[in-house]
Amino acid sequence: MSETTLERIESKLDLLLNSSAHRINAKKYISAKEVQDLTGLDHRTILNRSNLEKDNPRYIPSIRFGGSRRKYFERTVIERMFHLR
């Protein structure tokens, strides 16, 4: 293995070990902080990517309920996007 591959693996392991423990549940919509727990990406990054244009490959679709400012993300979409299943 190359040194960069080992560094990537180490950084991902560090990210997983440092992330909050995520409890698996059946909620359909999850918050940016819950996406952070699942993926290791900072919740601000998740929110920023949800503001990108829809044709941008880094775009993450979100939804708002009842005029609230808080964004939610569909769990199945996040799992598909980040290959979590």
pLDDT attached to residue 26: 62
pLDDT band at residue 59 using 50, 70 and 90 as cut-offs? very high
Q: Are 31 and 72 in contact (CB under 8 A)?
A: yes
Chain Cα centroid distance, residue 58: 11
Q: What is the pLDDT of residues 9-42, one digit of tens each?
A: 887 777 666 655 544 456 899 999 999 998 999 9
Q: What's the total number of domains in the chain?
A: 1
Q: Which two tokens stand for residue 65?
A: 């309920």
pTM for this structure? 0.66
Mean pLDDT of 51-71: 92
Residue 42: strand, helix, or coil? coil
pLDDT attached to residue 75: 92
For residue 19, the enclosing domain spans 3-81
